Amino acid sequence: MADGISSFWGPVTSADWCEKNYVYSSYIAEFFNTISNIPSILLALIGLINALRQRFEKRFSILNISNMILAIGSMLYHSTLQRMQQQGDETPMVWEMLLYFYILYSPDWHYRSTMPTFLFLYGAAFAVFHALVRFGIGFKVHYAILCLLCIPRMYKYYIYTKDVSAKRLAKLYVGTIFLGSLCWLLDRILCSDISQWYFNPQGHALWHVFMGFNSYFANTFLMFCRAQQLGWNPKVVHFMGFFPYVKVEKPKTQ
């Protein structure tokens, strides 16, 4: 805690990160780790608007809303460093991965009602269990497993996609998750050294920024692939020449 600044939220009861606490305000424990979630909210809002405007399936609207909920939960967690808020950050992370799992695997699932029912019950059970039990490394292992389960299907979509611009989205997805994970690891492993530096590079805040773009690129790529499956003739176009989004041309009957 910075000298002369008291904590509004009381003692830290959650996992703490490498950023010094309450440096800029008594209401915000980790300033940069909090505001670095804003890009995620804005990018998810852009994705939501595009999904609604072009009448994509509801799953993509829900996915973008879940991205926003996750970012807001992360802001609450890092601004308070309280256990309850940490759970409010971690539980939506699992829910979000279950949504990705559904979007990736549901097109080839023959029993349509079983997958969403199972994933819903799994997500609800995890939320209850997580509220009662404080996870440590177990949460990270569980989350990593959910991420790894999505990789084979994501790779299949990549190799079957011929569009160069869509493939570039997938590459940006891989690049941002690599850079974000590197920032997260360095911030965690080298925290004792970083704390002695004159300038803190704010690795965890950079993780938030990279993962905001990562989610946007993943969502946009999956929207392209789903539009292809539905015969909507998707194209990746770029707003102002650099910002990618999916534009579709549906058959007249749709």
Q: Tens digits of per-residue pLDDT, 106-137?
A: 888 766 788 899 999 999 999 999 988 877 78
- The full length of the chain comes to 254
Stated pTM of the model: 0.92
Beta-carbon contacts of 129 under 8 Å, excluding residues fewer than 6 positions away, are none
Q: Coil, strand or helix: which one is 9?
A: coil
| Percent of the chain predicted with pLDDT > 90 | 76
Work out the pLDDT band at 5, boundaries 50, 70, 90: low
| Structure-block tokens of residue 236 | 């990746």
Select the more confidently predicted residue: 251 or 101: 101
Residue 2 has pLDDT above 70, yes or no: no
Confidence tier at 252 by pLDDT (50, 70, 90): confident
Element (H, E) at 146: helix 137-160
**pLDDT at residue 15 is higher than 70:** yes
User: What is the average per-residue pLDDT within 193-217?
Assistant: 94
pLDDT of residue 112: 73
